[in-house]
């Protein structure tokens, strides 16, 4: 049975789980996040900003937070949610040089609502 690496509640109220399988997927493509589960969990739990996904805005979002490591400045976590159940799971995570980028539409900000 797949064990959970972490479970957190995001600012939107979703209980987000990262399974061992999801975490292996993350580090297989983004080895800079090896051993940094707590940082990714923190980005989901206390992000600087959350945007709706461009490709799946109704059930996926991108949480962005400050990267505690060296090099790239931010960690982005892609989370799939089930709105009717109030749950979600980590799809992937990676480091980035900026919060913006080709997969971010600033007009689709979900959290926080008060900054531009």
Query: Could you read off the pLDDT of 55-78 as tens digits, one per residue?
Result: 888 899 989 998 776 667 899 999
Domain 4-107 coded CATH 3.30.2310 = yes
How many percent of the chain have pLDDT more than 90? 69
CA quadruple 94, 95, 96, 100: dihedral sign = positive
Q: Which two tokens stand for residue 79?
A: 């989370």
At residue 86, the pLDDT reads 95
Helix (H, G, I), strand (E, B) or coil at 74: strand
Taking the C-alpha atoms of residue 41 and residue 45, their distance in angstroms, rounded to an integer, is 6
Q: Considering the entire predicted model, what is its pTM?
A: 0.90
SS3 of residue 111 by DSSP: strand
């Amino acid at each position: 049975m797949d064990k959970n690496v972490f479970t957190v509640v995001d600012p939107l109220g979703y209980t987000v789980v990262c399974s061992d399988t999801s975490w292996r997927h993350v580090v297989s493509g983004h080895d800079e996040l090896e051993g940094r589960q707590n940082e990714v969990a923190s980005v989901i739990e206390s992000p600087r900003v959350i945007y709706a996904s461009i490709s799946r805005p109704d059930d996926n979002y991108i949480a962005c937070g400050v990267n505690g490591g060296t090099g790239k400045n931010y960690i982005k976590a892609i989370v799939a949610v089930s709105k009717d159940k109030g749950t979600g799971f980590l799809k992937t995570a990676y480091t980035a040089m900026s919060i913006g980028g080709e997969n971010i539409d600033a007009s689709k900000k979900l959290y926080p609502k008060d900054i531009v």
